[in-house]
């Protein structure tokens, strides 16, 4: 069994390609199900403003990649030449090394940014919720979370953390100099906007308007941090009075386009208007950038700023890379041992099947369970069984005496056919 990744990111594809292949929260379950229907039993989809990646396990990597390409062609209508020109594919050691780099923020546009680890965890939770993972990806992702934690603990890569939002604020300061007398409109109420509002407050801005599809969320951000909550339909009026707009919503289509902005610029008497769009897909139609005195910046425009900070983090980045290489060796060794010993694989499969069946039985008995509780129950049971079988696996690896192996075979009902495979494997060593 091979661990693989197929994807594209900010280094291989421009924003107009990334947003076409962006998987929204509603896309992911559909894609996971299709992959499962097509024989890929273990898969995780990570899709953020900077990347879309599909991690999967397969005995036949090339055949599986053809299926994934077919799925992306069907689901997104992506031309085949895009998939050939803008994507990458890594297998085994290169694949989990890449995952370690991604979760640690070392493959991010803003190196060391902390948000990516939460996004990787969310992607894994989504996959487990839809029963799309198994023993290999479970182990790979749990290992990844430990590696990311170790890097945060043993290096200063996360010191004075940067993010897409903080880069957007830095860009604002480059545009206006002092921000404290400027009027800003923030569209969206997610994590990106929350972080941006904290920076704006720190810069001393007093006239910040917040609007969101759900007014109560805008109201809550205003109460918790700063700002004046507004309705989404107030956007045209707000555009006549603000100096800059920062937008990051979950909309799948642009919410501000040329037809909206042209008449507004007349009302503004052509006073300059700046947009910073950090959404994926983009909230602002790129065509507005062609209107006189309208200036639009997107995520890729922040790349130059992030590179300026790269040198500051290079030394810590080198330490982090060394940790990742050390952990790649350890994980490769674990996988090698797993492949050599079918008894260990059998134990993992038996325990996972029991866990999964018992969890389903329990959920069926409960009248109502919300998604967060489901996720927490799933993670908790996985964590418990992993800890319970760890000692058994450790004993097999450290002390593979015949008497111990016999006890384990009886305990986990290791069948005769499997024993033959095990004997055959041992002969080959």
Question: Annotated active-site positions, please?
Answer: 49
Q: Helix, strand or coil for residue 304?
A: helix
Q: Rg (Cα) of the chain, in Å, rounded?
A: 25
Residue 202 vs residues 190, 198, 205, 206, 413: alpha-carbon distances, Å: 19, 6, 8, 10, 62
DSSP state letter for 200: H
Q: Helix, strand or coil for residue 130?
A: coil
Q: Helix, strand or coil for residue 52?
A: strand
CA–CA gap between residue 185 and residue 231 (Å, rounded):
12
Strands 43-47 and 51-58 come out as antiparallel
HSE (side-chain half, CA atoms, 13 Å) at 18 = 23
In 81-179, the DSSP E strands lie at: 88-91
DSSP state letter for 229: E
Residues 107 and 120: beta-carbon distance below 8 Å = no
CA–CA gap between residue 275 and residue 296 (Å, rounded):
5
Query: What does the H/E/C string look like for 359-371?
Result: HHHHHHHCCCCCH
* CA 84 to mean position of chain CA atoms: 22
């Amino acid at each position: 069994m091979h661990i693989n990744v197929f994807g594209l990111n900010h280094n291989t594809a421009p924003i107009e390609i990334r947003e076409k292949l962006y998987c929204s929260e509603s896309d992911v379950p559909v894609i996971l199900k299709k992959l499962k229907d097509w024989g890929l039993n273990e898969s995780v989809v990570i899709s953020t403003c900077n990347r879309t990646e599909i991690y999967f396990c397969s005995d036949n990597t090339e055949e599986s990649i053809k299926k994934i390409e077919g799925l992306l062609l069907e689901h997104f209508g992506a031309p085949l030449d895009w998939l050939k020109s803008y994507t990458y594919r890594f297998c085994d050691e290169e694949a989990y090394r890449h995952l370690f780099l991604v979760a640690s923020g070392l493959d991010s546009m803003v190196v060391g940014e902390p948000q990516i680890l939460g996004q990787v965890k969310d992607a894994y939770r989504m996959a487990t919720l839809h029963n799309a993972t198994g023993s290999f990806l479970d182990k790979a992702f749990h290992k990844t979370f430990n590696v990311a934690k170790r890097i945060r603990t043993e290096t200063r890569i996360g010191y004075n953390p940067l993010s897409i939002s903080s880069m957007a604020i830095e860009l604002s300061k480059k545009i206006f100099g002092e921000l404290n007398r400027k009027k800003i409109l923030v569209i969206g109420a997610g994590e990106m906007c929350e972080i941006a509002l904290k920076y704006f407050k720190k810069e001393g801005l007093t006239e910040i308007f917040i609007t969101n599809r759900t007014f109560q969320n805008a109201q809550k951000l205003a109460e918790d941090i700063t700002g004046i909550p507004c309705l989404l339909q107030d956007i045209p009026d707000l555009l006549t009075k603000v100096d800059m707009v920062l937008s990051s919503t979950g909309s799948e289509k642009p919410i501000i386009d040329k037809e909206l902005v042209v008449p507004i610029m007349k009302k503004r008497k052509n006073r300059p208007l700046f947009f910073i769009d950090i959404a994926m897909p983009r909230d602002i139609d790129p065509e507005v950038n062609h209107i006189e005195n309208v200036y639009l910046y997107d995520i890729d425009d922040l790349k130059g700023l992030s590179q300026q900070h790269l040198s500051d983090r290079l030394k810590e980045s080198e330490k982090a890379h060394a940790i990742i290489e050390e952990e790649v060796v350890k994980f490769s060794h674990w996988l090698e041992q797993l492949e050599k010993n079918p008894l260990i694989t059998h134990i993992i499969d038996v325990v996972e099947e029991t866990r999964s069946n018992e969890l389903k039985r329990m959920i069926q008995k409960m009248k109502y369970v919300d998604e967060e509780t489901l996720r927490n129950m799933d993670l908790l049971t996985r964590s418990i069984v992993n800890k319970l079988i760890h000692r058994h696996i450790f004993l097999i690896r450290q002390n593979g005496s015949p008497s111990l192996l016999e006890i384990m075979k009886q305990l986990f009902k290791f069948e005769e056919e499997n024993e033959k495979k095990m004997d055959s494997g041992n002969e080959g060593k």
